[in-house]
Structure 1
Amino acid sequence: MPALKHLASGMLFLSTALLMSACSKDDNQGKARIQVALTDDPGDFKAVYIDVQEVNVNYNDSDDNGWQPLPGMKKGRYNLLTLVNDKDTVLADAEINSGTIKEIRLVLGDDNWVVTNNGDSIKLQTPSGQSSGVKLKINMPVSGGILYKLLLDFDVAKSIHEAGNSGKYILKPVIRTVLEAQGGSIQGVVLPAVLPSAVLLLNGQDTVASTYSGIGGAYFLKGIAAGSYSLHYISIDSTLKPAVKQSVVVETGKVTKIDTLTLIR
């Protein structure tokens, strides 16, 4: 497998600083991974553009405290009418703390537009009360090491209202939320632990995830879609032979624990 060998070589020649980090790092097993996706129920327009700026989570019962922005947010304008018939787009893909998510807040900018069936582009007006964002109740637990997908299902027909016969349109978002576990994690130990080992998870020839073993040889791969994979172990110590474990099954919402593996010379 030339591609695997090439990748392994690149990993083995990382800088000394990175290797020291790998030996001492905390794998943050308490972190979950969440993907926030936007989809739409169709409405009677040619296009509906919303200006997405932030997605925040809140673990507290208090609506005024505890809001945390999700990193890696893909800001921009999204045409909701291209996200119908089970299509969606990922707004954020981030690690979050485990615990119970109480609320999600979708923060919109002011560049929101509707294109009517007559071809007129009209800027959407947003009530001042929504300037702090659209708050959505979740109240669901997330567990460390598990991949979740939060689907924001935007109902265009109920969210856009014409203001009398003025030709103006008001945006009052109506959004249904669905939070589901999408994948699992892999946990194990590779020995000897004097030097770290590269641990690569492959689906056929494609590398799905990779990490280095840490203190005591422990490794943890998280946010993995359900399926069957192969695990490849390559020690920094070139005198140790690489090893492969086939048919590693990852299940949604679970941590797959792998028996301790010892590399030999």
Structure 2
Amino acid sequence: MKPTMKHVLPGLFVLAGALFFSSCTNDDTNSMIGKSRLQVALTDDPGDFRAVYIDVQDVNISYTEDDDNGWLPLPGIKKGMYNLLTLVNDKDTVLADATINSGTIKEIRLVLGDNNWVVTNRGDSVKLQTPSGQSSGVKLKINMPVTDGILYKLLLDFDVAKSIHEAGNSGKYMLHPVIRTILAAQGGTIQGAVWPDSVKTAIIVLNGADTVASTYTGAGGAYTIKGVNAATYALHYLPTDTTYNAAIKDGITVNVGSVTTVDTLRLQKK
């Protein structure tokens, strides 16, 4: 049975407050030309310690093969100390969530500070020694393209067991990060527009009776909804001006790593 407006409206009211400040779903479609969105997350393969703290200071990306130039800092990096051993069993934490230029990302650089520690199984807290060659950051090869309008997640899988070594029997520990990178598109993107653009309109993405995602129209009546799983959806349009009718578009198919452009919806007066 097709969802009716009485099924959709309660979900809209719950989500409305969050939608007004949700930058990831309320982008003007035109502003995403030549742009992608990248989330960088940190996770861990466990090691034989009580805790391992790393001091994250910056994350840079590069679109070139030049190791000395072309590095671009990701905005909004969440600096601080992270206990890697809390990020096991498919848990991760987002270090950065940024809009970037589309293209082929050649490398990423994880810049660590000096405040890196390990807590041994004896309960000793030992400051990790870092080789001087890593002062500019840990450089990781990516060499993968990112497409306009798509949300990507780059997972930095930190292998603690291979990254931390005791220097003989001195009680000192060396940090030499071994990190595996996994870059993947997070579903697909739906974009379109609603006319007249002067009427702010909520767009709700439904899979059967389940609300999957939602947003409001922005400048020019445009809307963009990212990170939608591959499936076929119905879009419900709810204008805030009640002199216009609500509308539905069925059969909107989304594929991973691609943008589904929906024909402009023209609102009808009651």
Q: Residue in 2 aligned with 1:212?
A: 217
Q: Residue in 2 aligned with 1:133?
A: 137
- Between the aligned partners of 1:104 and 1:218, the Cα distance in structure 2 is 32
Query: TM-score under structure 1 normalisation?
Result: 0.83
Unaligned stretches of 5+ in structure 2?
Answer: 1-8, 21-25
Q: Residue in 1 aligned with 2:63?
A: 59
- Between the aligned partners of 1:179 and 1:205, the Cα distance in structure 2 is 28
Deviates more, 1:162-171 or 1:77-86: 77-86
SS at match of 1:81: helix
Shift of the 117–78 alpha-carbon distance from structure 1 to 2, 3 Å rule, reads: same
* Matched residues, number: 253
- Between the aligned partners of 1:245 and 1:8, the Cα distance in structure 2 is 21
> What RMSD in Å do the two structures reach over aligned CA positions?
2.8
Alignment of 1:74 with 2:74, yes or no, is: no
Shift of the 197–114 alpha-carbon distance from structure 1 to 2, 3 Å rule, reads: same
- Between the aligned partners of 1:260 and 1:142, the Cα distance in structure 2 is 26
- Between the aligned partners of 2:113 and 2:36, the Cα distance in structure 1 is 28
- Between the aligned partners of 2:17 and 2:249, the Cα distance in structure 1 is 19
Per-residue CA deviation, residues 77-96 of structure 1 (Å, 9 max, x unaligned), is 11111222222222112211
User: In the alignment, residue 200 of structure 1 is paired with which amino acid?
Assistant: I
Q: Is the 8 A contact 1:114 1:123 kept in 2?
A: yes
- Between the aligned partners of 1:163 and 1:10, the Cα distance in structure 2 is 50
- Between the aligned partners of 2:49 and 2:193, the Cα distance in structure 1 is 55
Q: Is the 8 A contact 1:29 1:220 kept in 2?
A: no
2:247 to 240, 243, 248: 243
2:87 to 83, 86, 90: 83
Per-residue CA deviation, residues 196-249 of structure 1 (Å, 9 max, x unaligned), is 54242345675734242544x543333434455543334465532232335644
Query: TM-score under structure 2 normalisation?
Result: 0.82
1:29 to 12, 29, 33: 33
Residue 43 of structure 1: CA displacement? 1.4
Q: Is the 8 A contact 2:29 2:222 kept in 1?
A: no
SS at match of 1:129: helix
User: In the alignment, residue 57 of structure 1 is paired with which amino acid?
Assistant: I
Q: Is the 8 A contact 1:123 1:169 kept in 2?
A: yes
- Between the aligned partners of 1:93 and 1:133, the Cα distance in structure 2 is 19
SS at match of 2:40: strand
1:4 to 2, 12, 16: 12
- Between the aligned partners of 2:114 and 2:47, the Cα distance in structure 1 is 21
User: In the alignment, residue 158 of structure 1 is paired with which amino acid?
Assistant: K
Q: Is the 8 A contact 1:126 1:171 kept in 2?
A: yes
Q: Is the 8 A contact 2:118 2:128 kept in 1?
A: yes
